[in-house]
Structure 1
Amino acid sequence: MSKNKIWFVTGASKGLGLVLVKQLLKNGNQVAATSRTVDDLIKAVNDDTKRFLPLAVDLTNEASVQQAIEQTIEAFGKIDIIVNNAGFGLGGSLEELTDQEIRQNFDVNVFGTLNVIRKVMPYLRKQKSGHIFNIASISGYIGVGGMGSYCATKFAVVGLSEALAGEVEPFGIKVTVVAPGYFRTNFLSSGSVMYGKNQIEDYKAVREMKYFLDNVMNGKQQGDPEKAALAMIRTASETNPPIHLLLGPDAYKMVSENLVYLQKEFGEWKEITCSTDFDK
């Protein structure tokens, strides 16, 4: 396991972020953790040692992110591992969701992640080491009706992570995009999933999906968040960590099946696909 490392974890007052921070502190790491409300973070983590640095950060504000990075460097001397975990789900068909709702979803899930990356990279480049974990979702590999905005943000996180991995490899920096399946956190019931205010009656399937998540799936997810946190800590200690890390048998099954479907569809339409070059 990766011990005595300095971690910077966003969205740490609940869910997987909170579980990860507690595991890291238990294992002897130094952890800077962020939340919009620092009092909630302090209460949730319940650690008064000097190894824990709670920070109130607005991830959509570059100055706030810069200050948090500087405070971490000042407190611990460096940063080894960054976990861009903060984000929220947005449910509703794309027709129902407003421009403001979707932009807010992107501001936190995508641009908040980019803000952290931009502000921490000068330090990582200088020390020629580091590992960036970007938390995506199986919804970053599979489009799910009724969660189009959320899927779009997570597809973006997967894409930017792939690009970033190639960009920072010459500096000795690793990048891993993590795609969890369904884990038994409070993600579905803690305000981390919001729904568009405008509801169109025709979208019955969207309402059914919301009912399923709220009343059938919530509290019965098979994934153990403690094991997810340990899997990430283990991955951080690997010499050659993966760029893509699926977490959970459900994630492995769903993403693998989708790859098979895509390969089949590409093959079926190969003739049209390959018909677009200039004639020789």
Structure 2
Amino acid sequence: MLTQDYLVVATSRTKQALEDEIGDHENFLPLEVDITNDTDVNRAVLSAIDYFGRIDVLVNNAGYGQTGALEELSDLETRRNYDVNVFGSLNFIRHITPYFRRQQSGHIFNIASIGGLVGNFPAFGVYCSTKFAVAGFTEALAVEMQPFGVHTTLVYPGYFRTEFLSENSIHTAANPIADYISARETEAAHLQQIHGNQANDPQRAAVLLIELSTIPNPHFIF
């Protein structure tokens, strides 16, 4: 995106991680943000608008995988996954849509998952349910924002070669129960076999999202 002269704001848990990945660029604003903190998200949105003057596209992509059978996962583990995967996106939507309404334009991409369409993966019940939630509120968001000329796209990605299945991104149950053999087998397959061997290219996906953001009548589901 930067090579095409787009103005990019990126958020992460640490600003240093973004700077290490991208480096210094006049069209790039890295921000350290806790997406579960509504005040922190509002500060980030204000910083982006102050730096670049406006926002035209929001991509809600932050999230992590929480594995574990439903019985295994504690209230804290479950709520933390919802805080990031669901409420983090809602925080950004809440603070950016006022600007989109006023400028009568904008495009919101909410990244769900193939697990937001089908939830019959042992050990992925809570994670899949967060993505079903993303799909549900995105459907409502699309019709709410349409009168203001704001587009909404719900993305159902499959397996992409990202760090999603790495140790830093996937969380396993703190107190596993030995009886849940199918859950352990599914976890092992994702962490040991699928990770690093995903078929889809994230760079290609980014190009397609950019293309969608430039057309007059983009698809709702991608």
Counterpart CA distance in 2 for 1:195 and 1:26 is 38
Gaps in structure 2 of 5+ consecutive residues: none
Counterparts of residues 43-82 of structure 1 (less than 5 Å): 43-46=20-23, 48-82=24-58
Question: Are 2:187 and 1:210 aligned?
Answer: yes
Within 5 Å, which residues of 2 pair with 1:89-100? 89-100=65-76
Q: Which residue of 1 aligns with 2:221?
A: 244
Question: Shift of residue 145 of structure 1?
Answer: 2.1
Of 178, 182, 185, which residue of structure 1 is paired with 2:162?
Answer: 185
Q: CA deviation at 1:190?
A: 4.4
1:156 alignment partner, one of 133, 137, 143: 133
Query: Who is 1:27 aligned against?
Result: 4
Paired position in structure 1 for 2:99:
123
Corresponding residue to 1:88 among 55, 60, 64: 64
CA RMSD of aligned residues (A): 0.9
- Distance between the aligned counterparts of 2:166 and 2:45, measured in 1? 30
**Amino acid in the other structure paired with 1:219:** G
Deviations 1:30-73 (A, max 9, x none): 00110111111111122x12100010111111111111111111
Q: Which runs of 5+ in 1 are unaligned?
A: 1-23, 246-280
Amino acid at match of 1:127: Q
Query: SS of 2:156's equivalent?
Result: strand
- Structure 1 or 2, whichever has the larger Rg, is 1
1:1-12 superposed matches below 5 A: none
Aligned residues, how many?
221
TM-score, reference length from structure 2 = 0.97
Match of 2:108 among 106, 115, 132: 132
One-letter amino acid matched to 1:148: G
Change (3 A) 1:29 1:190: farther
Q: CA deviation at 1:193?
A: 0.9
Alpha-carbon distance in 2 for matches of 1:40, 1:168 = 33
Counterpart CA distance in 2 for 1:237 and 1:203 is: 47
